[in-house]
Structure formats: structure tokens, C-alpha cells
Structure 1
Amino acid sequence: MKAILFDLDGTLLNRDASVKVFVEKQYERLQDVVGHISKQRYIERFIELDQRGYVWKDKVYAQIVQEFAITKMTAEQLLEDYLHEFKYSCVAFPNLLKMLESLKNAHYRLGIITNGYGQFQMDNIKALQIEHYFDIILVSEWEGMKKPDERIFLKALNQLQVAPCESVFVGDHPENDVRAAKQVGMKGIWKKDAGWEEVLADVVIEDLLELVPVLENFEKVSH
């Protein structure tokens, strides 16, 4: 194994926790705009509409403005606030830096392939202070293609100059991450996520640090 590639949201970035922190801060920051709604209701509704990141925020805010009769800010202005402020609420999964340190010390080539908006995702990666660990970072908006499209995986492997069989992909989404990576010939590791039950992965991990012994195991098997 020469290269380890990661998804971002739900894999390195604890998106659920980050969203909670963000919405709470947004409510407090915009008290004069949303103060007529109870804090708990605002947070709950945002999280419901967001559907764990699979609904883009323009739709979320349009719905919130309408439902809660918000008049002092438009949905567009609330979206702007989200785009600008989210990076200050980023929560990493436990042991993120420890794991990246171990992989770097073991001389693996590292990459990220994430779906999403370019600048927004880069801001979040920088907020986690992990950008310097990675040899390549591919964000779907900038690449003009997104997971599970196999071309984005092949582009990453090409840039890292490794074959699919020498590479591992770690992600939380059964289709976009695990299955898509396996289809191009990579090993697919599932970072366990409460949203899914059965996932056909080569290995399942719950904590990022579990990745280190898993990779050592792959090495032993291939020898």
C-alpha cells in the first residue's frame, strides 16, 4: 500500500457536531433576526432540513425564512453567513492529527477527495489544520465531477502516481466512498456512521486510529 485517500465530511470532519456548533453560534450571533424563534426549535429545524449535508443550504434557509417568518434577513443573507462563518465551527473526529502523523511518518502518500464547493471545503480543511499533511486535495466543484464518478478517483491516483491496487479509500458513505473506490480497484474502508446499517467494505473502523493497524495488516497479507 502506497497511498491513503480520505473523504472529508463524516470521515475527518465530524460534520454532525460541527453543524450543531455552527447553528447554535448563528442563533446567538443573529439574535435580533431569529430571536422570535426558540433556540432549540431553530437548531432542530435546521438539522432536520439539512439532512446531514445532503440538502444544500440555499434550500434550507429558504424554508427556514418562510416557516419562521424571518423578515430582517433574506435566505441569501443567511446563506452568506453560513458560507463565511461555518469554518469557525469545525469539529474534528478524535485522533485525527495523531492518525495523520502516523501515516505521514510511515511515508504513505495522502489525499482527500470530497464532494462540495471548492472554497468552502478548503476553508474547512484549513480550519482543521490538516492541509499540510496531504499531497493532493480534490474538491468536486473545482474538478467538474464528483463521487461516485470513478474519474475523480482515477485522477487522484494519477496525481499521486499510484495504482488502484496500492491504494486505500476511507469514507463514511457506502456508495459514494466505499463502493465507488472498490469499483476502481482500491481497498474500501468504511468509517462507521450511524446513518447506515450494512456496508460492503474491506474493513470497518469506528475510530481513525484503527486505520494504522489495518494498514499494517494489509502489508502482511500482501507479503
Structure 2
Amino acid sequence: MLDKWYYAAGETTMGPLGLTELKVLLDGATNWQGLMVWRAGFTQWQTAGSVREIRLLYEFSPPIVSTVPPTLARPKRALPHRIILGIIVLAAAMAFGAFGLIFFQRVRNVQSTASSTMATPGIEGEIAGALDKIRSGLPRKIDATTILTGVRNLNAQLIFENIVTTDFSKFDDATKDRLRQSVVRNVCGNAETRKILDIGGSFRYVYTDLQTRPVFDIDVLKTSCP
């Protein structure tokens, strides 16, 4: 378990993570050296900059002397916005795909046994039970830039809480609007998520950065679908 790391982002703790996965999170932070990490063998949480294994990830060996003229490496470029948009839309689908069957099965069981006089708290209890199963698998890394950290419900609304490790400060309103449209189209086009919309449920995708600052939310209702 020495290679399993935990990372504290505000009030949220994520892990276990491999050292490579941990570095992905640290790379997206403004001051990675001051962020708190822990693994088995530590007596307390430590700053990332004080841990030798992590510092070594950011240290580079001197170049090897060669008589062959070096070729110029292509400069690294940030992911284009359209690629990041695609990743997050895919993450929204994967988030439900990974856990939605648990949730939908419980809701369908309620539907099959419910009468028109069944009290709403009974249905909400079934939903809460399904969400408990979902939470047991969190946090879950959805893709290279998205970590699903929480799932909860507010009445019939299913809320996915995500941390995004990329920089969204440069995203304008038009770009965010295109992202919302893509996620809505994705949820409405999925058979399982559409069934939940049809029985009165809804979805909210909440995105925050590594410092747990809100980035944006996406709401999907039945009326959102064409």
C-alpha cells in the first residue's frame, strides 16, 4: 500500500491514487508544493513539496552529451478547447454509465411495486439506498481531466460532483454554453438516463477546480430534451 496516495482538496479527500495519478492532480494546481498528501507509513498529512518521491517527479536529469546534432522537440501545447469539451462530455456519460444501472434498477423496482398512493419519502428512501451503493465506489477517476468525487440527490434530482484538473479560466461563456448543449444532448440521447427524465427525475453535473472553487454547473431536465 506504500504506492497508494491520498490527496486533500479543500474538504474532499481523494484516493487511493497511484503516484502518476497524483501527479496529474498536482500538475493542475497553482502551488502543488503546498498541497497536502498522505500514504501508509506517514504519521500525519504532509505537504507535497516535502515528500521526496513527489519532488523527484519534478526534477530532471542533466542531458546526455551527444555528438549528434539534437533535433528540436515540438513545444508542448495545451489541449485545444474542443478536445477538453469532448473529454468532459464523455466523462458525463461515463459517470452515469458506471453507476446509473444501480440507480435505475432501484428506481424501476420502486415503480413496479408502487401504487398511486405511495408516499414520496418511500421512493426517496429507495433512491438514497441506491446512492449509498454508488458512493462506495468514489472517488472515481473518469478520464484524464475529470474525477467524480460525489453523488447525491435532492428529491428527484441526481447530482454528480466532479473535480476538473484542467484550467477553465480561459473558457468564455460561449464555450461553456457549447459544453452544456453537448452534455444535454448526451444525457437526452442515452436510453437509461432518458427513462429517468421521463419519470420525473433530473440531473445536475457540478464541476469545481482543484481548490474546490466552482467552475460551472449543468442541469438536464426532461424539458431540456428535444
TM-score (normalizing by structure 2): 0.25
Specify the structure having the higher radius of gyration (Cα).
2
Higher helix share: 1
Higher relative contact order (CA 8 A, sep 6+): 1
